[in-house]
Amino acid sequence: MKSCGRNKGGGNIPVYGYIRVSTREQCEDRQLIALREMAVPEGNIYLDKQSGKDFQRPQYRRLVRRMKKDDLLYIKSIDRLGRNYEEILEQWRVLTKEKGVDIVVLDMPLLDTRRGKDLMGTFLSDIVLQVLSFVAENERTNIRQRQAEGIAAAKARGVRFGRPPKPLPENFHAMYQAWKGGKMTGTAAARACGMPLATFRYRAEIYEKAAKL
């Protein structure tokens, strides 16, 4: 038997909630609190924690299989339905047109399919959805662009990303001098320093630049 919640109209219908966070480190508390405020039963809240590369969303698939016509689904924001404009629109179509489910987007009260069941109401909801989906994707694109520009600017200032390099071995200076003076091959110098040849040459280049400062 399904757990039911009470909708705004006062009738008892099956009520569900869906939460998605994009990484396993991101906290879902904000979305969970919003769904609990709408009296969504705990057993009807489905949660996916997915990375950007893995968008299988097993809990979402379970939720879609479970929901029936006229069930009610709450989500905190429209971008919980997908990663991009096309995916959001497709999931909205599947849920509202194929499954016949009602959707309420808590961050955008206009996106409440229980309102305006006539043709004009449906048309307006679809228009609002398309605009918001485009805005959501455009904002994600802008964020990625700003991040890329910030990283490029930081690299131009000499900021290094990733783990700091290991300290040079004590004999590096001597091996470097021997290699530069032609007394030792790069392969032999690298082996004496306990590092691959490519690493030795890379660290030697940095060493030379630092010595000129």
The residues annotated with a catalytic role in the active site are 22
- The set of residues, in sequence order, having a beta carbon less than 8 Å from that of 59 and lying 6+ positions away, is 18, 46, 47, 48
Long-range contacts of 129-138 (CB under 8 A, 24+ apart): 129/78, 129/88, 129/89, 129/92, 130/89, 132/78, 132/108, 133/78, 133/85, 133/88, 133/89, 134/85, 136/77, 136/78, 136/79, 136/85, 136/88, 137/84, 137/85, 137/88
Measuring CA to CA, which residue among 98, 99, 96, 132 is closest to residue 114? 96
Sequence length of the chain is: 213
Bridge-based pairing state of the strands 5-6 and 12-13: antiparallel
Q: Tokens 């030792």 map to which residue? A: 184
The one-letter amino acid at 41: P
